[in-house]
Amino acid sequence: DFQNLIIKSLIKYGNREKAYIAIQSISEINNLEHEVFYRKFELDYLLSTFNLSEACDFKNVLQDKKINIENNFLLKIDIFCLFLEEKIDEANLLYSLLVESEVNKDIYFDNLFEALKNENSSKLNINNTNLNKEMIFLYSAMHRVGNISLSDEFLKVDPFNLSMPIILSRATDISLRLEAAHQAYNNGLIGIDSIAALYQ
């Protein structure tokens, strides 16, 4: 419980990398609730740092261990990973199973998945009213893969960890990218030269 408190505190104050390292150092987890929380965080961390192949591999490990994360999180990552591997038919099959089985529809994920399959995905605007904060890092990875513009909602949810994806997204409005750059600078993530380059 004490270890869990430390890790949650690190996450709360934006030290996600330290939290990730701390979780990696745990040899055995006896509390199922803690384990589900840690594994969800690990996947989120890999998605937020854009280590997508590692995230896909780790998702397979969790499925083999039969670890269940709410809101069909692993199934959604499975669909996304199949898309990345260009296994579109398999991704569509799993997606149809998701649509049939999901009680609380994740419309934002549905729209993003359709946008990824659309050749003009960069021109699409996704409705932010349906954004599920628990899925924010999966959404951000999907945005980056599809070169789909990110909104200020991402910056509001997690300015410390989602400012970099916004800064690097050429599809995103420049004013939001500059706002994200200033927040990243204030959080010590980038230097003044990076902000100057973005203004140029």
Q: pLDDT at residue 123 above 60?
A: no
Q: pLDDT at residue 170 above 80?
A: yes
- What's the pLDDT score for residue 124? 53
3-state SS track over 15-56: CHHHHHHHHHCCCCCCCHHHHHHHHHHHHHHHHHCCCHHHHH
Interval 72-77 mean pLDDT: 93
Model pLDDT for residues 22-74, shown as the tens digit of each residue: 998 887 888 888 889 999 999 999 998 899 999 999 999 888 888 888 889 99
Model pLDDT for residues 128-165, shown as the tens digit of each residue: 667 888 899 999 999 999 989 899 999 988 888 889 88
Kindly report whether the global pTM for this prediction surpasses the value 0.75: yes
Question: In 65-87, which residue ranges form alpha helices assigned H by DSSP?
Answer: 73-84
43: closest CA among 74, 4, 3, 6? 74
What rounded mean pLDDT belongs to the chain? 88
Using CB atoms within 10 A of its CB, is residue 95 exposed (0-12), middle (13-18) or buried (19+)?
Answer: buried
Q: pLDDT at residue 18 above 60?
A: yes
